[in-house]
């Protein structure tokens, strides 16, 4: 279930707000300039190719491209049997920013975005059908968990794709991680 947990950076072990209400999540994130949407499920085979997934969501992707100026869209998938899953997880666990919006639509599975906004950290557990757009310059990190299982559509303004500037801050290690917030082992 999609969940938003809000922590104070000064008391990072206990969330002061937790909600699974999609409308409330959208409202609280919008107040911080974060786009959050839930798109309807589209039909395609379980083993669909990236092209088939992009075709299934072509209208939604085209709308965002026109609205926000994105140039490219691709599909990324990770499964628990991927040999580099630990390296991929580690790559995204440190706080960083981007020079463009980071947009992810979860076609299947889930992942946990942490958004460091002022004195608070918003932990958004995104699941199938959730779209999140983290504005450029927003300090954040992503935790896919120890057994990642997701497929996402990514949209980019920069044709080079994912380029991060790491902040060097340790806050990501101070908050409850994926296993704690999702109950995963």
Q: Annotated binding residues for Fe(2+), as ranges?
A: 96, 98, 102, 140
Annotated binding site for Ni(2+): 96, 98, 102, 140
b/e per residue, 91-115, with b = 16+ CB within 10 A? ebbbbbbbebbbbbbbbbbbbbbbb
> In angstroms, rounded to a whole number, what is the distance separating the alpha carbons of residues 79 and 92?
16
Pull the structure tokens for residue 124: 């958004």
Q: Which residues 6+ apart lie within 8 Å of 82 measured at CB?
A: 88, 148
Annotated binding site: 96, 98, 102, 140
**Phi first, then psi: what are they for 36, rounded to 5°?**
-140, 125
> In angstroms, rounded to a whole number, what is the distance separating the alpha carbons of residues 45 and 157?
29
> In angstroms, rounded to a whole number, what is the distance separating the alpha carbons of residues 161 and 95?
18
Sign of CA dihedral 98, 85, 1, 56: positive
Contact (CB, 8 A) for 89 and 148: yes
């Amino acid at each position: 279930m999609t969940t938003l947990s809000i922590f104070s950076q000064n008391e990072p072990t206990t969330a002061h707000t937790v909600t699974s209400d999609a409308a409330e999540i959208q409202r609280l994130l919008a107040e911080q300039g974060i786009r959050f949407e839930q798109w309807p499920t589209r039909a395609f085979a379980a083993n669909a190719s990236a092209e088939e997934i992009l075709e299934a969501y072509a209208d939604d992707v085209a709308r965002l491209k026109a609205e926000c100026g994105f140039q490219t869209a691709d599909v990324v998938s990770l499964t628990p049997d991927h040999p580099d899953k630990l390296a991929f997880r580690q790559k995204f666990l440190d706080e960083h920013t981007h020079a463009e919006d980071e947009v992810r639509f979860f076609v299947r599975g889930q992942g946990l975005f942490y958004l460091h906004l002022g004195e608070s950290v918003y932990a958004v557990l995104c699941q199938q059908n959730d779209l999140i757009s983290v504005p450029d310059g927003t300090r954040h990190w992503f935790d896919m968990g120890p057994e990642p299982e997701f497929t996402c559509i990514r949209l980019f303004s920069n044709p080079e794709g994912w380029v991060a500037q790491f902040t060097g801050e340790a806050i990501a290690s101070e908050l409850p991680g994926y296993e704690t917030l999702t109950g995963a082992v």
